[in-house]
Amino acid sequence: MAEVNVSLGERSYTIYIGNALLSNYVENLPHKLNQQLLIITNPTISQYYLKPLLNTLSGHQIEIFEMRDGEQFKSLDSYAEAMDILINAGFNRDCGIIALGGGVVGDLAGFVASTFQRGVDSYQIPTTLLSQVDSSVGGKTAVNHPQGKNLIGTFYQPKSVVIDIDCLQTLTERDYRSGLAEIVKYGVIYDADFFQWLERHTAELNQQDPATLTYAIQRSCEIKAEVVALDEREKGLRALLNLGHTFGHAIEAATEYGAWTHGEAVAAGIIIASKLSEVTQRLNSSDFRRIKDLLLALGLPTKGPQMPWQDWLDYMQRDKKVKDGQLHFVLPVAIGQAEVVSTIEHDTVAAVITECC
């Protein structure tokens, strides 16, 4: 089992990564679990993983909230349902909330934990690759509003994160690849050695080789943990984690969160950002090529969808990362290094998007 520490003073916690961790959930935790526990999950996940978890939780007062499966249920309605369950069961402020699922379940469960009785213990058991390398680490919680994604939420760190890579076996191929895009992102923005390691291990990643996956997840969590420890509330460095996301979110919004998975949109977004960086003479052509080749080797898209420039602009300006009406782009300036740039002419961006879509 690999361990990654997230150093945030008294809010520090450990991420555990390995095989068969779910069926030994309680045994592996260094801390005692709360007597009252609400498990939030959904039917897609619970059919495989709820029983193994419950088997380790004897003697606790357990409530289960099976929310419906889908991004549209990361909502205030689902939040209210969870609150009703907690209150009707007489749960007190010593209770704990366990998120068993992907980023949707994790974001909602974290938000519930951060607000019930002004905050109770939160535990993450991420079951998608994306949630294992990204959403379960760093303490951002959220629900969506009809006007936009993640508009309502908190920063709230969990007590622990347990990543059982066996859970990935039931994930769809597309959801698996979606998570790989975020892993590539960490190499591009932060760690040239890791990027090179990924280039050398594309075959093993495509075959979901357990040892390779464990290291890829561990290194991704380490990078995210390091970035979050330096900039928990996204005043600077943490913004680099948004590489590819301004373009990616535009793609997701334009295709109504259906045709493209988040990771696919981010992969195309990383290409657009990298091309923009190359065209404005920040990134050299051979590094651009390496980024594109790695995404291709991992079966990810390297071309965005075609849509009018005005649509791109509208969607990008709606992204909540926009400050003072100006578009900010995270651009890779070398493999392992990125910067936030806000001085690029719209014409240049439009031309690059046309080239990349």
Which residues sit at the interface with ligand NAD, rule CB under 6 A?
42, 44-45, 69, 71, 74, 101-105, 107, 127-128, 130-131, 134-135, 138, 140, 149-150, 167, 170-171, 175, 178, 262
How, if at all, do strands 140-145 and 148-155 pair? Answer: antiparallel
Measure Cα distances from 188 to 8, 40, 50, 243, 331 in Å. Answer: 25, 33, 36, 9, 10
CB of 88 to ligand NAD, least distance (A): 25
Q: Is 117 annotated as a binding residue?
A: no
Nearer to ligand NAD, 104 or 353 (CB): 104
Catalytically active residues are 118, 140, 182, 224, 234, 238, 242, 245, 249, 262
CB of 354 to ligand NAD, least distance (A): 28
CB of 23 to ligand NAD, least distance (A): 14
Q: Is 128 annotated as a binding residue?
A: yes
Nearer to ligand NAD, 103 or 278 (CB): 103
CB of 196 to ligand NAD, least distance (A): 25
Measure Cα distances from 311 to 26, 68, 133, 239, 308 in Å. Answer: 49, 31, 31, 24, 5
Q: Is 168 annotated as a binding residue?
A: yes
Please report where in the chains the tokens 């009809």 appear, as a residue: 146
Nearer to ligand NAD, 248 or 336 (CB): 248
For every residue of 77-98, DSSP letters joined together read: HHHHHHHHHHHHTT--TT-EEE
9: left (phi over 0), alpha (psi -120 to 50) or beta: left
Amino acid at 326: Q
Spatial contact of 312 and 353, defined as CB atoms under 8 Å apart: yes
CB of 103 to ligand NAD, least distance (A): 2
Spatial contact of 220 and 182, defined as CB atoms under 8 Å apart: yes
> In the 3-class helix/strand/coil scheme, how is 133-161 assigned residue by residue?
HHHCCCCEEEEEECCEEEEEEEECCCCEE
Q: Is 319 annotated as a binding residue?
A: no
Query: Which residue number has the CB closest to ligand NAD?
Result: 103
Spatial contact of 291 and 282, defined as CB atoms under 8 Å apart: no
**What is the Cα–Cα distance from 164 to 133, expressed in whole angstroms?**
12
How, if at all, do strands 329-334 and 337-341 pair? Answer: antiparallel
CB of 263 to ligand NAD, least distance (A): 7
Q: Is 107 annotated as a binding residue?
A: yes
Give me the sign of the Cα torsion angle 235, 237, 242, 243: positive
User: What does the CA dihedral 80, 85, 90, 95 come to, rounded to 10 degrees?
Assistant: -90
Spatial contact of 225 and 5, defined as CB atoms under 8 Å apart: yes
Q: Is 106 annotated as a binding residue?
A: yes
Q: Is 71 annotated as a binding residue?
A: yes
Nearer to ligand NAD, 96 or 106 (CB): 106
Q: Is 145 annotated as a binding residue?
A: no
Nearer to ligand NAD, 12 or 326 (CB): 12
Nearer to ligand NAD, 149 or 290 (CB): 149
Residue ranges for the binding site?
Answer: 69-74, 103-107, 127-128, 140, 149, 167-170, 182, 245, 262
Residues making up the annotated binding site for NAD(+) are 69-74, 103-107, 127-128, 140, 149, 167-170
Q: What residues form the annotated binding site for Zn(2+)?
A: 182, 245, 262
